Amino acid sequence: MSFNQSGLMQNLFLKTELVSRSISAENPTGEKGMGARASEGNASQAARDLGLGWKVNPYLILKPQEETILAEIDGPGIIEQMWMTPQGPWRNLIIRIYWDGQDNPSVECPFGDFYALGFGKFRQITSLPVCVNPGSAFNSYWPMPFQRHCKITITSLNDQNVLFYYQINYALGEIPANSLYFHAQFRRVNPLPYKEVYTIVSDIKGKGQYVGTAMSWGVNNSGWWGEGEIKFYLDGDKDFPTICGTGTEDYFCGSYNFENQETKQYQEFTTPYAGFYILKPDGVYQSQTRFNLYRWHITDPIRFEKDLAVTIQALGWRSGGRYLPLQDDIASVAYWYQTLPTAPFPKLPEKDLLEII
């Protein structure tokens, strides 16, 4: 067998026909024996006493309002890990990934949101497919197989140059013919209209499996905000879903308001499959409490045969023990694998509508 599944230690000793390659600013094509060959680069002055091979070109400069191609790879192959560390603000950098020559991207997300950090503030994340480490090291371990071609781009919406370090580790060689393609889609509504349900994703067409949700939730009311149910509409479901959760914190693998029963305060956590963390008001200008949440369906993917839509309610409490539909600032990234082609995504919000205010 020429393919062994990424990330499983019990497969590390198995013989494989795959070959390892890596793309970075020091080897932008990933070709064999072509790393660290730059004689001129962004660090030429720092390396002037040492010369060729001594970290001459370790990063890119992303220019204002321009798209930069990070990787173009002919397959078959599989992206195994992506490490990136940019300057902020992270919402102003847009990652796109295209599979097998498609015109439509299968991944289109602001940078921080793709790595489950939607509000532009560093928090450590320790999970299986995504790790964010000090000082601002973003790591994706989602396996991303492709048959013919992969293109990864990043577009800067900033008005100034941005330094961008990155490394994309991949393997070339035969992959199973029934491999699905990785997808990730961003959405944001601010504020959510009264009594409307927030849509995480609605336009998935094809056969595949849903593998994760990351959310950034800015509350605009006092009190508990997470009574809403998540719903998965599978394969032609209309008015009622096949899978229905029991509450926001329940879906993200917590319970009872994420409350520490001793301190009566929110309890943050980061685990292989789910996490929850808080951005607290500073008492002056950052007046809203904001929350980041992630939930990976690694052991329990949501499988669909032809289509999928996912929604979540924004629901709190009002007087008389009644539910209160909330009007919050909600953003999300949906992660899934599916057959091609990729249906066109909704248009990404403009820069001002992406901004965290």
- 321-332: per-residue pLDDT in tens? 999 999 999 999
**Residue 2 has what pLDDT?**
45
pLDDT tens profile 156-173? 999 999 999 999 999 999
CATH number, position 152: 2.60.120.1390
Range of the domain at 52: 1-178
Same domain, 173 and 206: no
DSSP three-state, residue 91: helix
C-alpha to C-alpha distance for 264 and 191, rounded to whole angstroms: 28
Q: Is residue 221 part of a domain?
A: yes
pTM for this one?
0.96
Of 154, 178, 202, the domain-final residue: 178
Torsion of CA 43, 44, 46, 51, to 10 degrees: 120
Q: Is residue 357 part of a domain?
A: no
Of 162, 178, 194, the domain-final residue: 178
* Residue 207 C-alpha from the chain's centroid: 21
Mean pLDDT check: name the lowest of 41-50, 114-123, 146-155: 41-50
Of 178, 207, 223, the domain-final residue: 178
**Residue 125 has what pLDDT?**
98
pLDDT tens profile 295-343? 999 999 999 999 999 999 999 999 999 999 999 999 999 999 999 999 9
Q: Could you give the number of structural domains in the chain?
A: 2
**Residue 14 has what pLDDT?**
87
What is the pLDDT averaged over residues 79-85?
98
**Residue of 198, 224, 216, 193 whose CA lies nearest to 327:** 193
107, 182 contact by CB (below 8 A)? yes
Q: To the nearest whole number, what is the mean pLDDT of the chain?
A: 95
Q: Is residue 353 part of a domain?
A: no
Rg of the chain (C-alpha set)? 21
Same domain, 324 and 203: yes
**Residue 327 has what pLDDT?**
98
pLDDT tens profile 6-53? 456 778 888 999 999 999 999 999 999 999 988 888 888 888 889 898
Same domain, 148 and 185: no
**Residue 12 has what pLDDT?**
86
Q: Is residue 304 part of a domain?
A: yes
DSSP three-state, residue 157: coil
Same domain, 85 and 133: yes
In this structure, the strands spanning 107-110 and 181-189 are: parallel
